[in-house]
Chain A
Amino acid sequence: AQSVTQLGSHVSVSEGALVLLRCNYSSSVPPYLFWYVQYPNQGLQLLLKYTSAATLVKGINGFEAEFKKSETSFHLTKPSAHMSDAAEYFCAVSGSSGTYKYIFGTGTRLKVLA
Chain B
Amino acid sequence: DIQMTQSPSSLSASVGDRVTITCRTSQSISSSLNWYQQRQGKAPEVLIYAASSVQSGVPSRFSGSGSGTDFSLTISSLQPEDFGTYYCQQSYSSPFTFGPGTKVDIK
Does chain A bind chain B?
Answer: no
Give A contacts to B, CB under 8 Å.
none
